């Protein structure tokens, strides 16, 4: 009868509705409690990216030192202190021995006293320079040119001044005491000896340049 079918249809519809609601509640519960998976990097958008970290500054990116002669005040202090503590006689003997090995005994001329005279000359030169570090670009440069031109009568050639600078750097680290300032003191002497060899060689050639390439390199590195 129609009433029977109507009642049965209503019952079936009610059961289907309850089953649907139960399944929907289950799906919602699973969606809320399911752990989220990480987002793939390829799906990141610019809005989701964090700001880039600032680049670490390297030595090559550091600003050039202020123009204060050739050396900073700190390096001038390191040079003066190390020079004061230097055993002058022992150092000068070692310096001359190394220089003679590099350029030969004949480079100093035939005078038997030539080695001793040059030893005193080099020590006076270094001492005067250390005493006038803050005036390297002025009075001291003119003084270096004048005394170096006086060497034209000897056999010392412009290229020998490079050997002089190399000998200074070969010997002097052995007389700089250990400690936290050792490395920076050696660097300061490297800058100074390179400056001297460049200027003395240029003056010996009679072609002095106020901006020697090696000096510019050391300004960049240090």
| CATH number of the domain within which 215 lies | 1.10.490.10
Decide if 21 is inside a domain.
no
Query: Does the structure show a pLDDT above 70 at 179?
Result: yes
Q: Is the pLDDT of residue 113 over 60?
A: yes
Residue 25 lies in a domain: no
CA atoms within 13 A of residue 164's CA, in its CB half-sphere: 27
- Please indicate, yes or no, if residue 102 is contained in any of the structural domains: yes
Residue 202 or residue 64, greater confidence: 202
27 inside domain: no
Q: What tens digit of pLDDT does each residue of 60-110 get?
A: 333 333 344 568 999 999 999 999 999 999 999 999 999 999 999 988 888
Has residue 51 been placed in a domain? no
pTM attached to this predicted model: 0.60
The per-residue pLDDT for 124 is: 87
Is pLDDT above 50 for 208?
Answer: no
Please name the residues in contact with 108: beta carbons below 8 A apart, sequence gap of 6 or more.
100, 114, 115, 118, 154, 155, 156
The residues near 139 (Cβ < 8 Å, ≥ 6 apart) are: 132
Provide the domain count of the chain. 1
Establish if 52 belongs to a structural domain: no
Question: Band of the pLDDT at 166, cuts 50, 70, 90?
Answer: very high
What pLDDT, on the 0 to 100 scale, is given for residue 195?
Answer: 87
Q: How confident is the model at residue 121 (pLDDT cuts 50, 70, 90)?
A: confident
State how far the Cα of 8 lies from the Cα of 2, in Å rounded to an integer. Answer: 10
Q: What is the pLDDT of residue 111?
A: 84
Structural domain for 190, as ranges: 68-221
Band (pLDDT 50/70/90 cuts) for residue 112 is confident
Q: Mind listing the pLDDT tens digit for each residue in 22-68?
A: 555 545 444 445 544 444 444 434 444 344 344 343 333 333 333 44
Q: 123 vs 34, 118, 165, CA distance in Å?
A: 83, 8, 13
């Amino acid at each position: 009868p129609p009433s029977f079918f109507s009642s049965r249809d209503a019952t079936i519809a009610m059961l289907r509705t309850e089953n649907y609601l139960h399944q929907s509640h289950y799906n919602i519960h699973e969606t809320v409690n399911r752990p989220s998976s990480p987002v793939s990097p390829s799906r990141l958008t610019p809005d989701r990216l964090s700001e880039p970290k600032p680049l670490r500054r390297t030595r090559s990116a550091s600003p050039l030192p202020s123009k204060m002669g050739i050396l900073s005040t700190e390096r001038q202090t390191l040079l003066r202190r190390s020079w004061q503590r230097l055993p002058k006689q022992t150092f000068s003997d070692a310096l001359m021995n190394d220089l003679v090995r590099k350029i030969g005994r004949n480079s100093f001329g035939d005078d038997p006293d030539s080695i001793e005279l040059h030893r005193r000359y080099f020590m006076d030169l270094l001492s005067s320079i250390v005493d006038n570090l803050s005036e390297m670009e002025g009075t001291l440069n003119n003084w270096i040119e004048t005394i170096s031109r006086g060497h034209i009568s000897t056999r010392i050639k412009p290229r020998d001044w490079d050997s002089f600078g190399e000998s200074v750097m070969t010997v002097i680290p052995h007389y700089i005491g250990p400690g936290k300032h050792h490395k920076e003191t050696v660097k300061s002497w490297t800058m100074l000896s390179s400056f001297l060899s460049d200027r003395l060689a240029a003056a010996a050639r009679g072609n002095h340049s106020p901006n020697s390439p090696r000096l510019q390199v050391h300004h960049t590195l240090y």
